[in-house]
Structure 1
Amino acid sequence: MTTGYGENRVRRTATALSAVLIAASGLTACGSDKDSSTDAKKSAPPTAASSAPAAPATTQKPVAEAEARAGIPPKPDAAAQAAYVRALNAISPTIVNGKEDRAVSRGRDTCGTLHSFPKDHAKVVDTTRQRFSGAEQFNTAQAEKILTAVQTHLCPKN
């Protein structure tokens, strides 16, 4: 029996990656009508530091921009992550279960759900319940608490 959740997550991931690839290809295809040879004469020659490949930054920027448009915040700093993990552990130690990165990823995805369904609290709570349930199935009251922890520590603007 499948819940469809995994299929939806795969579909969302594939859609986000497609959007990033399309955006990245659009950026590389963009050109300028200006003659670049005059600009090159005005600027200083590249230094070793400026000629270093910038692939990781350019690859990460479109992903971060796509996530921001979807309401997914950047990864929290160490202090915010620690506070978030403490809040989840106070609800149930099985939520994090030693897998902090997974808990943060699920929380960030929940921020995206909040962004996508701002007027459907019941849907957001049910999605949160499903997203965080694993070995332990959480009830609606626990999902509300998880949602509060997510909003407080990961996406207070949502």
Structure 2
Amino acid sequence: MNTEHLFVFLLLIYMLVNVVTDVKRLITYNKWHLSFLIVFLTISLLQGKNLIVFLCTGALILIIGIIQSKIPGTSLGAGDIKMLVIVSLFLVAIKHESSLYLIIFILQLGYMFTSLAITSFVKVISFLKNKREWSVEGFKVTKEEVITPEAIPILISVVIILIFF
């Protein structure tokens, strides 16, 4: 098994556990993010990869995530931003022949469109149920906002990048 396959395997495990915990509790765990960051950095160092590229990737995604979280109506939390950073590091390592900026752009664009689609779908369900407030495991609608597990659109974006790019 080469390093790219190992990174894909680890990334999918990371994402699946995050999706399960995010759907069940609307939270992702810091120790989970930190563990995978340490594993990623260890493997990257052993492989002699350029850590400057990863540092730039992480910083860029962190800045974009913080800006996105400040947009009214979004439910991107701190754990979701950390997840985006870890995911982008893995994707840049896996898709090293692709442009760093292209990967970040597709990840963010895929995330935003998928998140918007899921939020719109939940709003339609709310309208069809004729209820202003309701919740079901991981999804919550109040008078002011719609809260969804953001790990789902991030996972969909990752799968799109892994398959098509």
Work out whether the TM-score is over 0.5.
no
Q: Which has the higher contact order (CA 8 A, sep 6+)?
A: 2
Quick check: which one's helix share is greater? 2
Q: Which of the two has higher C-alpha Rg?
A: 1
Quick check: which one's strand share is greater? 2
With normalisation by structure 1, the TM-score equals 0.29
With normalisation by structure 2, the TM-score equals 0.29
